[in-house]
Amino acid sequence: MTSDPVRLGVVGLGRAFMLMIPTFDADPRVKLVAAAAPRQESRTAFEQEYGGKGYESIEALCADPDVEAVYIATPHQMHVDHVLAAAKAGKHILVEKPLAISMEDADRMVRAAREAGVHLIVGPSHSFDLPVDLAARLIESGEFGALRMIQALNYTDFLYRPRRPEELRTEEGGGVMFSQAIHQIDVVRRLAGGMAEKVVAFTGNWDPKRPTEGAFTALMSFAGGCVANLTYSGYAHFDSDIWMNDVGELGQAKDPASYGKARRALMDLDPEEEARLKSTRTFGSGAAPIEAAHNEHFGPVIALCDRADLRLTPDGIEVFGDTERRFIEAPFGPAPRKTVVEALVRAVREDVPPVQTGEWGLASLEVCHAILRSAETGQPVALQHQCNAHQ
């Protein structure tokens, strides 16, 4: 593999990009050479920080011959147009989850990348987390026998973080389904091999001031007989990070004194003021990147196998075997999302796709829609667009 870093153009300099900055800064395998964003302040800050070129549109960025691959970190509803533009320009693509909002758009994106002969990678998502990858490989090895059940739980303050109005409208990708459930689905599918068969689910929409799904619980069945239980609440009461050694989702130490901070920050704010508050978390606004000391996670996950139960933690895997208990470390560093960069570099430099391809992203998106449909109809939903972890 050539040692030249992958020359990456970034589309969107908001919160998603902010969360990738520590990884980009720490990993010499990528070099940020261009950015496209509507705010001049963000483009100027990018040029000053990275020495790359700022553009007003993705089309202008994709016309830059120095850009090999594009990282699309824009809001969900913009993904389809931006992926299609990058594929048309022949650029490899890393697009934030979810791949799209509608299945129709996701299918168009997958076909466009395939026809253009470029790699389409969906992430970062928590299926990239090092402990998840380690657990998946342990399960695949057969060391612990067949995988029988997965339990995945997460309780957060997601619904009460600053939101733009469209982020509270389900049809525009708002609420917990497309931003949060997609993570849990990706993790569970990765551990179970990908081939989900059926979903039955219930959702919660309990706050008239945040009129979208804020919670769900679902059962998924998989080829081979594994069953997974997924439960998520973003209503900012119980915080399941206390079950993760007080490590936050992004690998940062949690301060117990911060309890209730999300709800307090939104008190008495109108939608315009809330949108302005969200803008303070973007690149160039003075916000500082998260400082992580552990791997990222998405809440407590336990995989139950014939000869052991595996508990995923931010630092590795606890193995509860037939007669002994042990810990398998998942070393942190040098960057919190190094597996995402690894996937991008291997795809661009070696033509080796990761698990999280466009097809994988489409399959996980299908489960999001199945959860919503099952909750609406009260009936199980059969899945038609699944793929396995070794396509």
- Residue identified by tokens 């791997």 is 295
Stretch 114-133: mean pLDDT: 97
Stretch 51-79: mean pLDDT: 97
- Count of domains in the chain? 2
- Domain assignment of residue 391, yes or no: no
- Domain assignment of residue 194, yes or no: yes
DSSP 30-61: EEEEEEE-S-HHHHHHHHHHH--EEESSHHHH
State whether 10 and 74 are in the same domain.
Answer: yes
Q: Hey, is 88 helix, strand or coil? A: helix
Q: 22-26, 90-94, 271-275, 307-311: lowest mean pLDDT where?
A: 271-275
Q: 42-56, 108-122, 282-296, 298-312: lowest mean pLDDT where?
A: 282-296
User: Which carries the bigger pLDDT value, residue 198 or residue 272?
Assistant: 198
DSSP bridge pairs for 253: 247
Band of pLDDT at residue 291, cut at 50, 70 and 90:
confident
- What sign has the CA pseudo-torsion 330, 331, 337, 338? negative
Band of pLDDT at residue 278, cut at 50, 70 and 90:
confident
pLDDT at position 187 over 70: yes
State whether 374 and 265 are in the same domain.
Answer: yes
pLDDT at residue 279, rounded to an integer: 76
Spell out a b/e string for 343-376, using b for 16 or more CB atoms within 10 Å of the CB, else e: bbbbbbbeeebbbbbbbbbbbbbbbbbbbbebbe
- Domain assignment of residue 389, yes or no: no
- What sign has the CA pseudo-torsion 73, 78, 80, 84? negative
Distance CA 219, CA 28 (A): 41
- Domain assignment of residue 362, yes or no: no
pLDDT at position 303 over 80: yes
pLDDT at residue 208, rounded to an integer: 95
User: Which carries the bigger pLDDT value, residue 178 or residue 286?
Assistant: 178
Band of pLDDT at residue 206, cut at 50, 70 and 90:
very high
pLDDT at position 2 over 60: no
State whether 186 and 58 are in the same domain.
Answer: no
Band of pLDDT at residue 290, cut at 50, 70 and 90:
confident
State whether 328 and 352 are in the same domain.
Answer: no
- Write the CA distances from 197 to 80, 362, 390, integer angstroms: 26, 15, 17
pLDDT, tens digit (0-9, with 9 covering 90-100), for 18-31: 999 999 999 999 99
State whether 121 and 64 are in the same domain.
Answer: yes
pLDDT at residue 269, rounded to an integer: 84
Nearest to 94 by CA among 350, 352, 347, 391: 347
Helix (H) or strand (E) holding 310: strand 308-313
State whether 232 and 374 are in the same domain.
Answer: yes
State whether 184 and 287 are in the same domain.
Answer: yes
pLDDT at residue 391, rounded to an integer: 57
- Write the CA distances from 378 to 159, 224, 328, integer angstroms: 24, 25, 41
pLDDT at residue 1, rounded to an integer: 44
Paired sense of beta strands 215-222 and 227-233, if any: antiparallel
| CATH number where 61 lies | 3.40.50.720
- Domain assignment of residue 204, yes or no: yes
State whether 237 and 374 are in the same domain.
Answer: yes
- Domain assignment of residue 65, yes or no: yes
State whether 268 and 326 are in the same domain.
Answer: yes
State whether 282 and 167 are in the same domain.
Answer: yes
User: Structural domain of residue 33, as residue ranges?
Assistant: 6-126+337-357
- Domain assignment of residue 1, yes or no: no
State whether 165 and 44 are in the same domain.
Answer: no
Stretch 184-203: mean pLDDT: 98
pLDDT at residue 317, rounded to an integer: 98
| CATH number where 320 lies | 3.30.360.10
- Domain assignment of residue 56, yes or no: yes
Band of pLDDT at residue 363, cut at 50, 70 and 90:
very high
Percentage above 70 pLDDT, the chain: 99
DSSP state of 200: E
pLDDT at position 259 over 60: yes
Nearest to 76 by CA among 57, 98, 60: 98
State whether 191 and 293 are in the same domain.
Answer: yes
Stretch 291-319: mean pLDDT: 97
Gap between the terminal Cα atoms of the chain: 23
What mean pLDDT is reported for the chain?
A: 95
